Each structure stands twice: as structure tokens, then as C-alpha cells.
Structure 1
């Protein structure tokens, strides 16, 4: 597949070595951000921001994606006019083995227990 990243619209991301556990945990402590990460993990592919149906305003959604990007949880790139999001699973699993899977499994168990959507 040809990489169609839109030149000149790069977004800042922390390098792998800059990702901190407390930043990761802060980012995933919010239910909307955890929901975004759960959807990305389930799809195992890049998803556009518009793919997520969150019960918050567009500006709040943008904020959630920025927190996830700046903490190193996701990578965002522009492809044409779409901002695409991918989970930085390889980086996170390399830094904190098993943590992401444990958090996602715990969130899923909690959602089922409470009858909520993750």
C-alpha cells in the first residue's frame, strides 16, 4: 500500500523513550479516551476521527485525541483531509508488557458488569 500521508501536516508525537507510565495511565483514566483505545484495539487498523461516535462535542473529541496522542497512546497522521488514528501497540507493549491488554480486559469486564459500552 502506498503511504499517502499528507505532507506538511505532521502532528507532534512523543518518541518511544519519552512515553511515561503516568501519562499513559492519565490518558486511559477517562472513559471516552478508553473507549477510543478499545475501538482502535478491536479494529487493529487506522481509523479516522469521524469513525468514532462519542457522546461529546467535536471540540471535546479533539481534546481526547490530543491527550491520547501527546501521551503516546496513539499515532495520528493526516491522509488527505482525514486524520487517521492508530494504537501504538508495539511501543506500548515494548515499554509496558501486558499493561494495555490488562487494562482493556479490565475495562471490558467493568463495562459488562455495569451494562455500559466501552
Structure 2
């Protein structure tokens, strides 16, 4: 008898906005915070899912959770549980479809600013 795939436990599914629910002002708000922009830059550089616990951020765990929630609820990232780890990935293709060039422009500008300021 083949084991059936297990559904995630109740409460382990995270809400994400559908593509048609993502709003420009929500994305811009999410990207306007330096900590959230740092998360987005890390995800873009990695090009793969990263565990939330793997980010070295200069804020408390509860504040980190808040920043990830803002990014997820605005449609900038997608999160899922893999075991006990909450994995995050950038919704680059979705954002590119809705707002062509926006994310790449923000990432380029953020990289230039980091270089200029020595971050």
C-alpha cells in the first residue's frame, strides 16, 4: 500500500494575495523599509527559497516576523513551511508581470546605494 501524501497541519498554510490582488502601493510600501529591502535583496541574490531563520537582521525575532508578513501580504514574497522551517521566495515573475521593470529597478538602485554608502 502506497502512503498518501500528508496535508500540512491546520494553521500551517499561509495566506498570499492572488496576482490580481497585488497593489502597487502595497509593494512600494513593503519595499520602502530598509530591513524589508535587505530581505528582498538577499532573496534576489540567492535565486532560491531561503529559510527565514537564515537571515541575519538587526531586529528582534518578532520584528523580523512582522517584516516577512508585510512582504508576504503585499505580494512581494511567497512563503511555505518545509518541515519546521518557513521558507521564503521572491515573487519576481508575478511582480514583473504586473509592474514591468519595477523590482529590477529597485534592486539596482538599492545595490548602487549600498555601494555608495559602503553597506
The normalised TM-score by structure 1 is 0.92
> Hey, what does 2:90 align to over in structure 1?
87
- Post-superposition Cα deviations, 1:30-86, rounded to whole Å, max 9, x if no partner, equal 000000000000111000001100010000000000000000000010111000000
Shift of 1:4: 8.7
Question: Secondary structure of the residue that 2:87 maps to in structure 1?
Answer: strand
> Hey, what does 1:97 align to over in structure 2?
100
CA distance in structure 2 between the aligned counterparts of 1:5 and 1:99, rounded to whole angstroms? 36
Question: Secondary structure of the residue that 1:56 maps to in structure 2?
Answer: coil
Q: Relative contact order (C-alpha < 8 Å, sep 6+): which is higher?
A: 1
> Hey, what does 1:35 align to over in structure 2?
38
Shift of 1:6: 3.5
The normalised TM-score by structure 2 is 0.91
Q: Are residues 56 and 7 of structure 1, via their aligned partners in 2, closer, same or farther at CA, if it must alter by over 3 Å?
A: same
CA RMSD of aligned residues (A): 1.5
Report which of the two structures shows the higher radius of gyration computed on alpha carbons: 2
